[in-house]
Amino acid sequence: MPLRLAVVPELDSELGRLYGLPLDEFTAARNELATRLRQAGQADAAERVRALRKPSVAVWAVNRLARTHPDELEELLEAGKALRDAQAKALRGTGADAVREATAVERTALRNLTRLAERVLKDEGRPASAATLERVAATLRAAAVDPDAGGLLAAGRLPDEVESSGFAALAAMAPPPSTRKGARSKREQPKAPRASPGRIRKLQARATRLEERAADLAARADRAEEAAREARERADQARAEADAASRELRDASRGANA
């Protein structure tokens, strides 16, 4: 008898299970869930489930991290919230140092998770190419500073890669200037140069691109260091084998001349 899914929380549980499956099982399980929903009289939910796309390898790895490394993922989400708050204050003209500090913490958490994603992919027999890991890092970073995507990320149910939206949305978070009693009058306020909204958007987009590039380069540096370490280990092993072969050759030569 098919399982009836009559309430949304049960559907949430089913979706959580769906996104936790091995990637090769996603499509069949999605279609089977859509069929059960339709049989349970939930035609709208069935259509929405049927429309879900199979995640990319990068998204699958990100969702896998939510299940295998929840603590490290929570660190990134907390760092993303701190960075979002610091950026909002910076837009009001205060807290530039806080942005730098929050960015450094977020970058460290991101590098750590990207390395863990590489391990997850290798353990599952998936290619952990540089391009895939860059997409993992970009999705993690963008989702960490997006409240809606962050919730799906924490649940391991991210349906698609997330692109950075820049800092434009943060401008709306800045409250109007204070009008409380005791506030400095306009004549007492130091005059700051005004920038047009267009220039502000360009500066925000440039800051986003530079931060993303810094994160990408840091991730590439980590991978290069790991590759260099493995190469040194292989070189040491080859040297040891060459030394052993040389000793064996000398011993054989002495035996032949005896």
**Lookup: tokens for 118:** 């590489």
Q: What is the pLDDT of residues 198-250, one digit of tens each?
A: 666 566 666 666 656 665 666 666 566 666 666 766 777 787 788 788 888 88
- The residue type of 152 is L
Q: What is the pLDDT of residues 65-85, one digit of tens each?
A: 999 999 999 999 999 889 888
User: DSSP characters for 60-111?
Assistant: HHHHHHHHH-HHHHHHHHHHHHHHHHHHHHHHTT--HHHHHHHHHHHHHHHH
